Structure 1
């Protein structure tokens, strides 16, 4: 389904604030509240909106350190890649992971209490895995999620 200018603006507004009241969203779009509500419902139905989430302060939940762990696999069989995917998905310290092209095979964003927790986690979660050939850990000093939605089509 083709998204139009209003659909893209809804996505932009909700990406910035998923709790935006429908009335406010409608005002920003210049449409009736019923139109805004129906448009949001349709965006959910077609899968353009996957859900809503809360941004949580890392410090509030005991996260004192975040890192990106580059992982290179020893072999690249479909089964080993799928198994590593499943392993990463089972680790509560993993915030996100990316299967990437290049020198490394995975980029894993982790959140831990402190440097001791990071060391223990990396050793236990990665170096014990037979499919892992190499790891490199990079500390994250700061990061920010871009609230804007990149638009790669020409909305009508």
Structure 2
């Protein structure tokens, strides 16, 4: 007996995701390690349909990857901070070169290029206050285009609700 597959759907900016797509994405954003069998069971889908739809979402670029969440404290980096970086020169070459360098620096969790008074926000994790000071002095202020930095300690991080609204 042949398992019929649903017709291939084009998913992109011009296509609206349906409620099943949203359910799949919400479930995967809560736990990307869930097995296809468990995901299908949770959503009341056939396993083949579930696998097909997840694969289609990946192929369409809606799901771009999965990442492990790490306990930074257990890895020896319990101190997190946001470093705001302001530039003195805003040429395209300077901005792109600095952005690449900052994002590639060990300890940077995320690098944001932002609008407003500051140009970059760096979310970093380090061993202690001295390591944070050294990070700023060795990896940030050494770039000739950096005019100013401001560092804020992070007390706690919580994941937000995300863009997928719950449908009841």
Q: Shorter chain as normaliser: what TM range?
A: over 0.9
Distance (whole Å) between structure 1 residues aligned to residue 159 and residue 117 of structure 2: 25
Q: Show structure 2 runs of 5+ residues with no match.
A: 1-10
> CA-atom RMSD, angstroms?
1.5
Deviation, structure 1 residue 89? 2.2
- Residue 28 (structure 2) aligns with: 14
- Structure (1 or 2) with the larger CA radius of gyration: 2
Distance (whole Å) between structure 2 residues aligned to residue 98 and residue 149 of structure 1: 17
- Residue 96 (structure 1) aligns with: 110
Deviation, structure 1 residue 15? 0.5
1:119 aligns with 2:133: yes
TM-score by length of 1: 0.93
1:142 aligns with 2:151: no
SS at match of 2:148: strand
Deviation, structure 1 residue 151? 3.9
Highest RCO, 1 vs 2 (Cα 8 Å, sep ≥ 6): 1
- Residue 52 (structure 2) aligns with: 38
Contact 1:11–1:149 (CA under 8 A) maintained in structure 2: no
Distance (whole Å) between structure 2 residues aligned to residue 151 and residue 9 of structure 1: 9
Distance (whole Å) between structure 1 residues aligned to residue 23 and residue 106 of structure 2: 34
How many residue pairs get matched? 152
- Residue 97 (structure 2) aligns with: 83
Contact 1:22–1:36 (CA under 8 A) maintained in structure 2: yes
TM-score by length of 2: 0.86
